[in-house]
Structure 1
Amino acid sequence: MSDTYSGNRPLGVTVLSVLTLLIGVTDIIAGLLFVFTRNNREVQASAQTSAEVLLIAGVVYLVIGLIYLAVARGLWQGSNGSRIVVNVVSVINLAAGVWLLTQSAGSTRLQAAISILLAVILLLIVNSGRAKAFFLAR
């Protein structure tokens, strides 16, 4: 991967930027739902988990979502620092998704599976050849 990339922003980077923004918003919404519904017995029963697990998951998703929002603009502009942050946060999001997948059931498990899938997609895009060259050239 050469650091002399001089082309326009690759389509993958554009998709990555928009996807990062959407994942950030989705994670924040999920985090808020987990936090505010954690004491609801029906939610706990549906997720087959405790209020404490829902609270921890909610806080983790809120933090991850805020970080994704913060770096989405940097990705759009080609910031290599933002690329590195997305790599780190995506791995954390992947781990949080796996943890939540093993600690819950129902719709909470579905949210965890979606988080895992999206984290993997982000990692694949941000580390593709053209995208990496674009970020390193900035």
Structure 2
Amino acid sequence: MAQRPGSVTFVAVLTYINGILNIIGGVIILLTRNSMVSGRDSAALTGITTAAIISLILGVVIVIVARGLLRGSTGSRAIVTVVMIIDILNGVLLLFASQVVNGVIQILWALLIVLLLYTRRANDFFAGR
């Protein structure tokens, strides 16, 4: 059984941080949503509440995926890969929307994550699970 490489640990830690920030953000939005819109705009309040709940759910899913990465789950690896491919496509869209710096950063970051998950040592680690 292959030992977990540092690249996988690094990606998992970043994934944990992302999940925790999603959860914190969702809680903050839920706690402050009434101050974000007037009490008469129920549609906006519903939208903000829905966004907060989605953020909380995504945060929990992301934390579960991070845990899976640390355990060598190929499913978690696939989920992170798909999300990073979507991030790359979003980065390309940003390039066309004249958001060149943001687009380049998003593309490079997503590529880095994918490359770290598919090094030779990472492949051996996930194959050994």
TM-score interval, normalised by the smaller of the two chains: 0.5 to 0.7
Give TM-score scaled by structure 1 length. Answer: 0.57
Which residue does 1:135 correspond to in 2?
126
**Counterparts of 1:79 and 1:53 in 2: how far apart (Å)?**
34
Q: Which has the larger radius of gyration?
A: 2
Tell me which amino acid in the other structure corresponds to 1:13: V
Root-mean-square deviation over aligned CA pairs: 3.3
Tell me which amino acid in the other structure corresponds to 2:33: R
Deviation at 1:7, TM superposition (A): 4.8
Report the identity percentage: 35
- The answer as to 2:51 corresponding to 1:60 is no
Which residue does 2:76 correspond to in 1?
82
- Over 4 Å off, 4+ runs: 88-92, 121-124, 127-130
Deviation at 1:10, TM superposition (A): 1.9
2:66 is aligned, of 72, 91, 95, to 72
Which residue does 2:26 correspond to in 1?
31
Which residue does 1:126 correspond to in 2?
117
For structure 1, the 5+ residue unaligned runs are 1-5, 43-49, 99-115
